[in-house]
């Protein structure tokens, strides 16, 4: 995955910071005197029920239960921030959640409830989760729900994925070595032939870009965001070499960039064995790989001369499928749209394979309008579907 | 005119064997949760049922934005004269969503408009059907307002939040039309093409750019505020991502009366004064709606032909022309909007009294567009034009103009006759038509179970 310097990386850390912000803000409210919760903060016209959030009185206040679309006002009467989930009692499936409710504050949660038994579950920071009283409802059909995924659930797939990446890096090192050798020999035709397989081998691992850290900017950054553009000394890696190979640069000028690239991927392979992937990354990667494809490949933004954006998009599809393969056991029971997603992924792969002619790929700019629209539509459809994988596979504390 | 994009037909390998729709598979996944979910229908239906009547109240608020300055908001229960918006006609301000016709197209343009021409990327007829059902469900929800269905942890929020937690309808009107290209071989609809629907031809004064022409499906949204329109556009695009791709898009706006009467276009002239009365059902049956016995396929009854023309106005050039010459080109006084042989905007020009064009030149725009003779009475169209503004061109000239849209029963009998008379009119030097297309506005969505194009596809 390309990551240019200065481009905001959507790391899990960044997300966590966002999620924490209301908590910290709310903590400031501790200094303020208690004020009763405001009365109209949520969609109007819906039934409102105020319930308490605290270790001793989790879910109290839900005295007149009714099915249908409704708003709960979650009032945290405890001294610590808490997360609240409305769960279906039998399955533990979550109908709705609100994170980071600060002490003394009230947040709303809109849900649709139907026939079934429900309970609130309060998850205070730094304390055990508490389940509120069970409430039974007759009639109506509830909104969509899914069982929470825990970090524990995500560790085996994350380890499996990490191993898969390790194997992929061996291939990247090998193919990048061929590219470097061709340039060293001064055989630029062979170098142009060797560039694409090496780059695609790397792109296939796209899911791991955050875990690759700064290495990715050196290996796969573009000229964007660099004051000197393609001539900037900090512009290195696959696209630096690509730019030279497809813009008539002499072999001598590419030896150093190719050698640096080979050294960088070799160093990455070595360090990868020590790295530990954050399991929370996995669900995010499942949708972010193709989000990046939509932004960077289908727009041609990353093309530095090879015209291989569609090949990259195809490699990114493989990368997405590699993530999904590891998450599959968690998704089969949680994501009813999974079979449809699988079919759409296959459709996208078939579509892109149609742009391949031996070792060459149709450049993006040569696509007819109809084919380009179809490609954009297929990927647009995929990212909509994959966004659910990310929300479902965000790790949640259950105990 | 053929569409080059269409020569690149879908291959079987691309369409796949999936029977799924553009945004859904009929399986209960989040992307299409709104389709066929009992939970959605009931509340929306109630609201939609009330829309036609309840709209008067909302309409007054809405009309205030558009027309209060005219002091002419004339609420009489269910109807508000849309002379406030200046089209010289009176219809319900917020048209009901359900009905045999798309009432939305009769409504005078609200302040903010978006026209989007899409190409359909759905793989086959089943997917097209699913696409149109989804589009209907979204249009119904958006025009009726209400709380989006919560999805819990099963997906990102169902709504963009641009209009707050319970998006108000905001007098949103949605009009869905289809282009001739939809009736090519892709969906097996070849034999069902509305008889008078073709790709928009090139007219002698046109300067068409292919990227701004045609489309499989035209979507027109208008509402009181830009955020309402953009919220609807995002919602519809999101739910149809796999089945529709935007081909071109033009945003428009309708000016308030300055100081009264029809809103002014960017040439400074009142525009739309002579429109037929959209509240006159018989007139609409004569001029706008496709009726029975017209030789059209049965499914098309209740629809209407839509012509969209993207007309750049060369405003710098225009502003360097004397007022007298401007008025002779148009045929009306700029200040009052009155025909040059009259005193008031609504005065009817009397061309018979001026056979040599001494007062209103024979080639004046209004005289050529509507000669007001018995022979041309059935050629009139319902104009639903608005202004557009889209920055500057490569030479730094302001790029603004007219998002022209009109509805009629028969393009050849109506729009094309008018266009033929306008060929070579003096005004052509000051305008450039660069895009647009011919579309057919589908018959209305009759009720809660109906959907756009049902009669076409079943």
> What stretches of A127-247 adopt beta strand conformation (E)?
130-131, 135-137
Query: According to the model, what pLDDT value does residue B44 have?
Result: 45
A391 to B8: CB separation less than 8 angstroms, yes or no: no
* CATH number for the segment(s) A34-137: 2.60.40.420
Q: Is the pLDDT of residue A83 over 80?
A: yes
Q: Does B271 touch chain A (CB under 8 A)?
A: no
Torsions phi, psi of B440, nearest 5?
Answer: -120, 110
**Mean of the pLDDT values across residues B119-145?**
97
Query: According to the model, what pLDDT value does residue B338 have?
Result: 98
From the list A287, A338, A329, the residue with the least C-alpha distance to A15 is A287
Range 245-264 of B in CB contact (< 8 A) with A? 245, 247
Query: According to the model, what pLDDT value does residue B94 have?
Result: 80
Q: What is the dihedral of CA A107, A112, A118, A120, to 10 degrees?
A: -10
- Residue tagged 């380890």 (tokens): A159
Lowest mean pLDDT among A152-161, A379-388, B4-13, B290-299: B4-13
Q: Which of A140, A145, A377 sits opposite B152 (nearest CB)?
A: A145
The distance of Cα A66 from the centroid of its chain, to the nearest Å, equals 36
- Collapse the DSSP code of A305 into the 3-class scheme (helix H, G, I; strand E, B; otherwise coil) and give the result: coil
In angstroms, the CA A336 to CA A342 distance is 11
| Residue B38: closest C-alpha in chain A | A141
Q: Is the pLDDT of residue B341 over 50?
A: yes
Q: Is the pLDDT of residue B53 over 70?
A: no
Q: List residues bridging with B117 in a β-sheet.
A: B218, B248
Q: Is the pLDDT of residue B27 over 90?
A: no
pLDDT confidence bin for A44, thresholds 50/70/90:
low
Domain ranges for chain A:
34-137, 151-392
| Residue A93: closest C-alpha in chain B | B153
In angstroms, the CA B67 to CA B82 distance is 8
Mean pLDDT of chain B: 84
Query: According to the model, what pLDDT value does residue B310 have?
Result: 98
Torsions phi, psi of A288, nearest 5?
Answer: -75, -30
A340 to B29: CB separation less than 8 angstroms, yes or no: yes
Query: According to the model, what pLDDT value does residue A207 have?
Result: 59
Query: According to the model, what pLDDT value does residue B48 have?
Result: 60
Q: How big is the A-B interface in CB pairs under 8 Å?
A: 158
A385 to B149: CB separation less than 8 angstroms, yes or no: no
Query: According to the model, what pLDDT value does residue B217 have?
Result: 98
**Mean of the pLDDT values across residues B56-80?**
31
Query: According to the model, what pLDDT value does residue B61 have?
Result: 34
Q: Is the pLDDT of residue B200 over 70?
A: yes
Q: Which of A43, A339, A381 sits opposite B166 (nearest CB)?
A: A43
pLDDT confidence bin for B51, thresholds 50/70/90:
low
Q: Does B169 touch chain A (CB under 8 A)?
A: no
B29 to A385: CB separation less than 8 angstroms, yes or no: yes
A337 to B39: CB separation less than 8 angstroms, yes or no: no
Which H or E run contains A390? helix A369-392
Using N-to-C axis directions, what is the helix angle for A238-245 and A251-272, rounded to 10°?
A: 160
The verdict on ipTM greater than 0.90 is no
Q: Is the pLDDT of residue B93 over 70?
A: no
**Mean of the pLDDT values across residues B87-93?**
44
pLDDT confidence bin for B10, thresholds 50/70/90:
very low
* CATH number for the segment(s) A151-392: 1.20.1420.20
Residues in A touching B247 (Cβ below 8 Å): 373
In angstroms, the CA A2 to CA A332 distance is 31
pTM summary value? 0.86
A340 to B242: CB separation less than 8 angstroms, yes or no: no
Q: List residues bridging with B389 in a β-sheet.
A: B400
Q: Is the pLDDT of residue B60 over 70?
A: no
Lowest mean pLDDT among A30-39, A300-309, B152-161, B232-241: A30-39
pLDDT confidence bin for A211, thresholds 50/70/90:
low
Q: Is the pLDDT of residue B209 over 90?
A: yes
Q: Does B150 touch chain A (CB under 8 A)?
A: yes
Q: Is the pLDDT of residue B82 over 60?
A: no
In angstroms, the CA B175 to CA B109 distance is 11
**Mean of the pLDDT values across residues A366-390?**
97
Q: Is the pLDDT of residue A22 over 60?
A: no
Q: For residue A282, what are the CA distances in angstroms to A20, A94, A277, B89?
A: 20, 20, 9, 59
What residues contact residue A346 under an 8 Å CB cut-off, 6+ apart?
B16
Lowest mean pLDDT among A12-21, A173-182, B110-119: A12-21
Mean pLDDT of chain A: 89
Q: Is the pLDDT of residue A192 over 60?
A: yes
Lowest mean pLDDT among A285-289, B216-220, B377-381: A285-289
**Mean of the pLDDT values across residues B126-143?**
97
């Amino acid at each position: 995955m390309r990551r240019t310097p200065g481009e905001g990386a959507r790391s899990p850390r960044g997300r966590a910071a966002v999620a924490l912000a209301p908590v910290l803000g709310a903590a400031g409210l501790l200094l303020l005197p208690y004020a009763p919760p405001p009365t109209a903060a949520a969609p109007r016209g819906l039934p409102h029920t105020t319930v308490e959030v605290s270790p001793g009185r989790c879910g109290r206040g839900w005295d007149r239960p009714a099915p249908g679309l409704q708003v709960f006002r979650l009032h945290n009467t405890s001294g610590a921030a808490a997360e609240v989930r409305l769960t279906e009692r039998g399955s533990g499936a979550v109908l709705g959640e609100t994170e980071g409710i600060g002490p003394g504050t009230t947040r709303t949660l809109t849900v649709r409830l139907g026939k079934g038994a429900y309970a609130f579950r309060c998850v205070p920071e730094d304390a055990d989760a508490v389940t509120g009283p069970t409430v039974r409802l007759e009639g109506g059909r509830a909104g969509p729900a899914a069982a929470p995924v825990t970090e524990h659930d995500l560790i085996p797939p994350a380890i499996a994925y990490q191993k898969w990446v390790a194997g992929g890096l061996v291939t990247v090192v090998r193919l990048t070595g061929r590219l470097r050798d061709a340039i060293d020999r001064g055989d630029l035709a062979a170098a142009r032939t060797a560039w694409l397989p090496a780059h695609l081998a790397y792109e296939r691992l796209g899911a791991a870009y955050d875990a690759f850290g700064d290495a990715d900017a050196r290996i796969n950054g573009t000229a964007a965001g660099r004051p000197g553009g393609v001539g900037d000394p900090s512009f290195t890696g696959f696209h630096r070499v690509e730019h030279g190979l497809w813009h008539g640069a002499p072999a001598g000028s590419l030896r150093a960039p190719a050698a640096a690239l080979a050294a960088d991927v070799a160093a990455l392979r070595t360090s990868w064995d020590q790295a530990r992937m954050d399991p929370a990354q996995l669900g995010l990667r499942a949708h972010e790989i193709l989000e990046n494809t939509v932004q960077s490949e289908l727009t041609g933004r990353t093309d530095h001369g090879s015209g291989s954006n569609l090949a990259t998009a195809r490699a990114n599809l493989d990368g997405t499928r590699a993530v999904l393969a590891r998450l599959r056991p968690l998704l089969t029971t949680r994501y009813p749209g999974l079979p449809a997603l699988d079919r759409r992924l296959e459709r996208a792969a078939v579509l892109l394979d149609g742009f391949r002619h031996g070792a060459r790929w149709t450049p993006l700019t040569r696509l007819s309008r109809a084919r380009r629209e179809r490609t954009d539509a297929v990927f647009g459809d995929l990212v909509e579907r994959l966004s659910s994988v990310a929300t479902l596979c965000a790790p949640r504390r259950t105990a | 005119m053929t569409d080059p994009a269409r020569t690149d037909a879908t291959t079987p390998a691309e369409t796949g064997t999936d029977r799924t729709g553009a945004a859904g598979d009929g399986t209960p996944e989040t992307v299409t949760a709104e389709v066929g979910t009992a939970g959605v229908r009931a509340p929306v239906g109630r609201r939609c049922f009330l829309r036609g009547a309840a709209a008067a109240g909302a309409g007054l608020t809405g009309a205030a934005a558009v027309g209060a300055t005219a002091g002419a908001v004339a609420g009489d229960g269910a109807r508000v004269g849309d002379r406030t918006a200046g089209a010289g006609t009176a219809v319900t301000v917020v048209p009901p969503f359900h009905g045999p016709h798309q009432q939305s197209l009769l409504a005078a343009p609200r302040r903010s408009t978006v026209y989007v021409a899409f190409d359909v990327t759905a793989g086959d007829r089943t997917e097209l059907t699913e696409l149109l059902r989804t589009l209907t469900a979204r249009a119904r929800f958006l025009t009726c307002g209400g709380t989006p269905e919560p999805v819990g942890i099963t997906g990102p929020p169902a709504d963009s939040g641009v209009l707050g937690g319970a998006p108000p309808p905001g007098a949103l009107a949605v009009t869905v039309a289809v282009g001739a290209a939809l009736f090519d071989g892709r969906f097996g609809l070849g034999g069902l093409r509305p008889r008078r629907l073709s790709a928009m031809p090139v007219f002698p004064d046109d300067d068409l750019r292919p990227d701004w022409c045609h489309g499989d499906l035209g979507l027109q949204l208008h509402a009181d505020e830009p955020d309402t329109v953009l919220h609807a556009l995002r919602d519809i695009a999101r739910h149809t991502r796999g089945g529709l791709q935007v081909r071109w898009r033009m945003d428009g706006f309708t000016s308030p009366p300055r100081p009264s009467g029809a809103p002014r276009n960017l040439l400074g002239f009142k525009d739309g004064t002579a429109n037929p009365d959209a509240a006159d059902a018989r007139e609409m049956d004569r001029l706008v709606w496709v009726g029975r016995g017209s030789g059209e396929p049965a499914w098309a009854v209740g629809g209407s032909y839509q012509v969209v023309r993207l007309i750049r106005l060369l405003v710098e050039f225009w502003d360097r022309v004397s007022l007298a010459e401007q008025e002779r080109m148009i045929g009306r006084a700029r200040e009052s909007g009155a025909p040059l042989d009259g005193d008031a905007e609504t005065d009817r020009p009397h061309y018979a009294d001026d056979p040599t064009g001494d007062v209103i030149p024979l080639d004046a725009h209004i005289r050529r567009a509507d000669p007001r003779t018995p022979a041309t009475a059935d050629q009139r169209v319902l104009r639903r034009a608005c202004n557009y503004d889209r920055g500057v061109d490569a030479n730094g000239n302001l790029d603004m103009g007219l998002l022209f849209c009109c509805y009629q029963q028969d393009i050849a009998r109506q729009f094309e006759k008018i266009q033929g008379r306008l060929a070579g009119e003096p005004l052509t030097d000051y305008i450039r038509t660069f895009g647009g297309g011919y579309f057919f506005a589908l018959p209305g969505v009759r009720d809660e179970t109906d959907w756009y194009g049902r009669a076409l596809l079943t």
